Amino acid sequence: MMNRSAQSPQLSFEFFPPRNDEQADVFRRTRDRLAALNPDYMSVTFGAGGSTRSRTRDAVLDIQRETGVPAAPHISCMSEDTDGIRELLDAYLDAGVDRLVVLRGDRPSGGGSGVFDHAIDLVRFVREHYGRRFHIEVACYPEMHPEASSPDADLRHFRDKVEAGADGAITQYFFSFSAWERFMDDCARMNIDIPITPGIMPITNFARLKRFSKMCGADLPKWISKRIRAWEREDDLRSLRAFGEDVVTDLCRRLLDAGAPGIHFYTLNRARATLRLCRNLGLDEQRESAGQRAAS
């Protein structure tokens, strides 16, 4: 495995598992373009209700095999039973996968629940059965999880997940630097001392961003949405993308300057916007100079 400079911020990319041949082509191209940046890991999401379990596993194994970049499956409480979870985790260990993103998961639209009620139960389950063989990342929410009764309650639940054995956390995406600052102060107050990596969503498609933000409770500031909406009305995607790139570059720069341990990009299986952000931040040069990974 490659040595990375202690100074270079942690870099990770998130994918969703492709659903058809066309998406698989896009996934492979994006995988290879982003792997060239020598990230610390690339993660693969799990569908609502656990619907993509085998596709997630296939995409994870594909990333490790084809790029040599460590891959991290997202696992969720929405599995049907604990035997199934153990089988999956055993298979991951056999394949050399030792990093997980552990979540409750989004509930399927028709309702239903999983084998555990909350991510903390799954963190405990992994620690109980696998000790410290997996590095565990969990989710956290600078703008509060939409189902939480209050920011303090959400923070306490986050602290409990950390005490149950999480090694690190990735945030839901956000666009407000103040929300991040406040959240980091709150975490310090609660003695939460694991690395918390901001999850960053490139701005490329307003309709999708609006839909996601509504679903996950991320705040889309008015000053951003007003401008983007105007460019969309005029069909001026070029200005929209340039503005999105500017806003997100600035946010990432401020986060890294303020001591964020790195950036986790929600790539949505597209390379272009993420690559441009990495280039603006100088992350591409830092990473590429650490050398190319062997693709074997």
* Chain residues that interact with ligand FAD, rule: CB under 6 A: 45-46, 48, 74, 76, 101, 103-106, 118-120, 139, 145, 147-148, 153-154, 157, 161, 170, 172, 199, 216
Taking the least distance from each CB to ligand FAD, the nearer of 190 and 216 is: 216
Nearer to ligand FAD, 217 or 293 (CB): 217
Q: Choose, from 14, 137, 143, 245, the residue flagged as catalytic.
A: 14
Q: How far is the CB of 196 from ligand FAD (least distance, A)?
A: 11
CB of 60 to ligand FAD, least distance (A): 12
| Distance of closest approach, residue 124 Cβ to ligand FAD, in angstroms | 11
Is residue 14 annotated as a catalytic residue, yes or no? yes
Which residue lies nearer to ligand FAD by CB, 101 or 192? Answer: 101
* 11/36 with CB nearer ligand FAD: 11
For the CB of residue 195, give the shortest distance to ligand FAD in the complex, in Å.
13
Residue among 36 and 70 whose Cβ is closer to ligand FAD: 70
DSSP 49: G
Closest distance of CB 103 from ligand FAD, Å: 4
Q: What residues are labeled active site?
A: 14
